[in-house]
Chain A
Amino acid sequence: MRLRTLLTTSALALGFAASAVQAAPDRAELMKQHRGGTLKLNAHGSAGTIDPQINYEAEFWQLLYTTNDGLVTFKKVEGKDSNDVVPDLAEAIPSPQDGGKTYVFKLRPGVKFSTGKDVMPSDVVASLQRVFKVSSPTAGSFFNGIVGADDCLKTPATCTLKDGVIGDDKAGTVTVHLTEPDADFFYKMSAVHASILPADTPAKDLGTTPAAATGPYMIESYNPDRGMKIVRNPYFKQFSADAQPDGYVDGIEYNFGLDDQAGVTAVANGQADWTFDDVPTDRLNELGTKYPKQVHVHTLLAYYYVPMNVNLAPFNNVKARQAVAYAVDRKALVGLFGGPNLASPLCQQLPAGMAGHEDYCPFTQKPGAKWTAPDMAKAKQLIEESGTKGAKITLIGDDKAIPKSIATYMQSLLRELGYDVDLRVVSHNIQFTYIQNTNNKVQISVSDWYQDYPAPSDFLGVLFSCASFHEGSDSSINISGFCDKKIDDDMKKAAATAVTDRAAADKMWAQVDREVTDAAPAAALFQPKRVDFVASRVGNFTYSDQIHFLFSQAWVQ
């Protein structure tokens, strides 16, 4: 980790300097040509609170990445580089000390909040305390490695992190102590939940009240039933084009209310510039043929999968689970999602493009690297061998179009395999937590997982480790209840190796991926792509793997 970090930091510094020399005039010229106007966004509904340390919805994270900053962040560029972590409010990515357990961040001087107040180390300390005080959704998973986090998780109101986060306003530094080295520490610190807010920000959910911003824009008003108005932050001065580039448009209007169909129509008619919701499948062909220049397709580090409860019959039998994995017609499911240009079959747990991904597919007619076709004969043979034929199964789907159609297909498939299957469609708003809680005795469900950060641990560790399984909790993301001691040890070794040797760790994660796939606690289905449809006036559409459409980089005039 140390060598890599040093190299990364040096390369970043060099790259940043070089790009600054070459790109600055171009960017300044573009800014002169295109600065101004209002970007009009649309979504079917709002996404709850706008508190950056509480909101956990992609819809608002996209926006909050342009209004708020952490010590580090994901590089705001197009392509693979968007997975890189770059210094944000910190001057540089710090070198690890104490064997990777201590990091000293030096803040950039002169950065101000939208209130006019300077960003100080004391604000950083207060912000990291606030993560626990407001019970941020990732407090227990992203920030639990900070010294003192355990106490903060137990009694959030009195959280101090006094030995874990130490600020020095005079020196302009913040020191973070971890209980043990964490290879994903900078990824986690790049999350919106690690945004730095003024120290006097109330330690409660801000709800519809905008937090002070440090980015080029700030939220002026927010009505969850109508919309949101975002204006320029008067105190913003671009401090890093990689971390937080200045925006072209003067303001952003986010309107809520139009459904996915109406949203697409509004964009086609030029009444909106972009819509958050997925493009309805029956409009895809129209967009691809009538508006090809306005359509942007990008692969997502995500996958759709079918978790099977390894602790409940019939899927407590590995052969029953493998039978499902063999039987799934992934090509057909790709068709349900929108065709081969919008998704790819996947039969392992790590999606393509993710570190540690090595093509692997044991559950197909010709086992090998890639999926070729379903093997119903093998699947039916496994069902016979498992002795589970005829078992009563309740499949839990969700009521959004794509997951529901997948669930309908899965019901049909399971019936074909000889099970007695009921399909229960649950509201999308509660399905995700419902299927996690063991009290609901969910045997099999349809779900999806989108990366929080670009590390294999975010899939394999989060979805299939023993630590992610909590009986009786709505927050038990290991939906299958899978806990294999040997595989769990392999995950821990891979995570420990990643601190010092990322490449070696990726190899280890690839092995873990194969082990988990073979055990089949879940049947991977396909890896989706994202379709963004923008109005004809929108220029410089920039897509980050982490944040997706970068609003600040688009222009409308």
Chain B
Amino acid sequence: MTLASPGAASQDAASQVAGSERPDTPGAGREPGARATSRGPWVTALRKLLQDRAAVASLAALVLIVLCTLAAPLYATRVSETDPFTSNLSGSVVVDGETVDVIQADTGGLGLGTTPIGPTWTGHYFMGADGQGRDVMARLLYGGQNSLVIAGGATVITLVAAAVVGIVAGFFGGIVDAVLSRLLDVLWAFPVYLLAISLSIVTIGRGLVLGPVTISSSSLLLPIVIIGIIYVPYVARPIRGQVLQLKRSEFVLAATGLGVPRHRILVTDILPNVATTLIVFAPLMMALNMITESALSFLSIGVQSPAASWGTIIEDGQGLLYTRPWVAIAPGIAIVLTVLALNVLGDGVRDALDPKAKLRVRKGR
């Protein structure tokens, strides 16, 4: 699985769809109303996931990253003792017993330019300062909070919206399917980044007004909603396809023949099967969303100043590449690590939920 193309994610996850209706897949193939045993498919999947060392390591890395970002306020007040959202252009800091300016005027040659303090590897300005004299480490932690919240929030929106649209379109078919599918086609017709940038530019000025609800331009909800919406077709399409297959499966036909109400078939037969696909999609979409958020913030149309995200910090560091490259490199590394962990975890989840993968593992042994 790569993040090169959202379509690739869709196809890869969709390939798992075929297996999801098999009886050995979590939630699939159960008789309506049947209860899972203690060694049911979900437990089996979890055990398989825990046997995947790469996935477990990724999960641990993610947990560590989340915990670090949650500690941002503590770090800012107790360790760096700075306000990472306030410019500190004229401030100074004591390093190795010596007081130095946070922004230092260059004195060599013609004396042109100024340079922010570099990494001190101590509590104050551990990773140095950005062009505004703000502590990079503290902003990195706060920025991580925002990046994760946006990526996570957008993923929830994408998955919920995609599940509703995909299930309704696939299950009810007919005119409902035609209308919803065309709506998805319209969204799909736009290159994803072009759509995200366009929506962001339009809404960043005055915020987003949805009836009585107004989301201000500085609210994190704005990038969450925008990113959440743009990826809906990429998940809804495979979900719809899976539901179309499930509709023709024997257990659904049997339930229909027995007169089970449609809403009950949806809840007990369709949704559990679709859930596995959504679970597989979750980490992969979160990785995609994180990259999209970083891109939008890098372009100044995502998280708004003075708040930070890893994308805004990279942008802050863009003008310091020759003198303080760490300002841009540090959030870059954070994004790479997080996205890599999410992708590896996503692959692990897919393998755990995919019976074909189980067969492969057994053959391999």
Decide if A552 is an interface residue (CB 8 Å cutoff). no
Q: Once the chains bind, are B217 and A282 in contact (CB under 8 Å)?
A: no
> Which residues from A are CB-within-8-Å of B132?
405, 408-409, 412
Partner of A281, one of B89, B114, B216, B304: B114
Q: A290 on the interface (CB 8 Å rule)? A: yes
Q: Which residues of B contact A241 (CB under 8 A)?
A: none
A285 touches B218 (CB 8 A): no
- Assess whether B306 is in contact with A412, with CB atoms less than 8 Å apart: yes
Interface range, B side = 20 to 34
Q: How far is the CB of B299 from chain A (nearest CB, A)?
A: 9
B174 within 8 A of A: no
Give CA–CA (A341, B85) in the complex, Å. Answer: 28
Cβ contact of B306, chosen from A336, A340, A342, A411, cutoff 8 A: A411
Bound complex: CA of A423 vs CA of B303, how far in Å? 11
> Does chain B have a CB within 8 A of A292?
yes
Interface string of A323-342 (1 = CB under 8 A from B): 00000010111011011111
Taking CB atoms and an 8 Å cut-off, the chain B residues in 301-317 that contact chain A are: 304-306
- The CA of A332 and the CA of B91, in the complex, are separated in Å by 9
CA A283 to CA B324, docked complex, whole Å: 11
B108 x A289 contact (CB < 8 A): yes
- In chain A, residues 380-427, which have Cβ atoms closer than 8 Å to a Cβ of chain B? 399, 401, 404-405, 408-409, 411-413, 415-416, 422-425
CB–CB B322/A283 < 8 A: yes
Let me know if B105 and A282 touch, CB within 8 A: no
Find chain B residues with CB under 8 A from A539 CB. Answer: none
Instruction: Return chain A residues, CB-CB under 8 Å to B305.
Output: 408, 411, 423, 425
Residues of chain A within 8 A (CB-CB) of B218 are 422
- Residue A287 at the chain B interface, CB threshold 8 Å: yes
Asked whether, in the complex, the Cβ of B217 is within 8 Å of the Cβ of A339, the reply is: no
* Number of chain A interface residues as a range: 35 or more
CB of B111 closer than 8 Å to a CB of A: yes
B357 close to A (CB within 8 Å) = no
A281-B319, A408-B87 as given contacts; A297 in contact with B112, CB under 8 Å: yes
Q: Which residues of B contact A342 (CB under 8 A)?
A: 112-113
CA distance A404 to B85 in the complex (A): 15
CA–CA, A329 and B133, complex, Å: 14
Tell me whether B106 is interfacial, beta carbon within 8 Å: yes
- Closest Cβ of chain A to B107, distance in Å, is 9
Q: Which residue of A lies closest to B133 (CB)?
A: A332
Query: CB-defined interface of B119-163 with A at 8 Å, one 1/0 digit per residue?
Result: 000000000000110000000000000000000000000000000
Q: A288 at the A/B interface (Cβ < 8 Å)?
A: yes
User: How far apart are A11's CB and chain B's nearest CB, in angstroms?
Assistant: 36
B110 within 8 A of A: yes
**Contact indicator A335/B110 (Cβ below 8 Å):** no
B249 beta carbon closer than 8 Å to chain A: no
Contacts A339-B106, A422-B218 known; A281 to B113 CB distance under 8 Å? yes
Q: Judge whether A341 and B217 touch: CB under 8 Å.
A: no
Measured between beta carbons, the chain A residues less than 8 angstroms from B217 are 422, 424
CB neighbours of B86 from chain A (8 A)? 412, 415-416
Q: Which chain B residues border A331 with CB–CB below 8 Å? A: 90
Which of B103, B112, B132 has the most C-beta atoms of chain A within 10 angstroms of its own C-beta?
B112
Given A288-B106, A409-B132, A413-B87, check contact A531 B304 (CB 8 Å).
Answer: no
Q: Is B245 an interface residue (CB 8 A)?
A: no
B205 contacts across to A, CB distance below 8 A? 424
Q: Please give, as numbers and ranges, the residues of chain B lying within 8 Å of A261 by CB-CB distance.
A: 321
CA distance A295 to B110 in the complex (A): 9
Contact with A along B226-260 (1 / 0, CB 8 A): 00000000000000000000000000000000000
A331 to B320, CA, bound (A): 20
Instruction: Indicate whether A408 sits within 8 Å of B306 (C-beta atoms), given known contacts A282-B323, A295-B110.
Output: yes
Bound state CA distance, A331 and B204, in angstroms?
A: 32
Output the nearest chain B residue to A410 by Cβ-Cβ distance. Answer: B87
Tell which of A290, A329, A411 touches B109, judged by Cβ atoms closer than 8 Å: A290
Whether the pair B109, A405 counts as a contact (CB closer than 8 A) is no
State whether the Cβ of A280 lies closer than 8 Å to any Cβ in chain B. Answer: yes
Q: Does A225 contact B (CB under 8 A)?
A: no
**8 Å CB interface, A414-448 against B:** 415-416, 422-425
Docked CA distance A52–B348 (Å):
65
**Interface residue? B268 (CB, 8 A):** no
| Assembly CA distance A77 to B111 (angstroms) | 27
Contacts of B216 in A (CB 8 A): 422
Kindly state whether residue B44 has any CB partner on chain A within 8 Å: no
Chain A residue nearest in CB terms to B105: A339
A466 within 8 A of B: no
For chain A, residues 272 to 307, give those with C-beta under 8 angstroms from any C-beta of chain B: 280-290, 292, 295, 297
B43-79 vs A: 1/0 string, CB under 8 Å?
A: 0000000000000000000000000000000000000
Nearest opposing residue in chain B for A374, CB measure: B90
Contact, CB under 8 Å: B320 / A409: no
CB within 8 Å for A338 and B322 given contacts A412-B87, A424-B205 = no
Q: Is the CB of B320 within 8 A of A282?
A: yes
Residue in A closest to B216 when the chains form the complex, CB atoms: A422
- Is A288 within 8 A of B109, CB to CB? yes
Report A-chain residues with C-beta under 8 Å of the C-beta of B80: none
Question: 8 pairs across A/B with beta carbons < 8 Å?
Answer: A283-B113, A288-B106, A288-B111, A332-B87, A338-B114, A339-B111, A339-B112, A341-B112
What 4 additional pairs, Cβ within 8 angstroms, besides A281-B319, A409-B89? Answer: A261-B321, A289-B110, A335-B89, A339-B106
Q: Which 5 A-B pairs have the closest CB atoms?
A: A284-B113, A332-B89, A289-B109, A288-B110, A288-B112
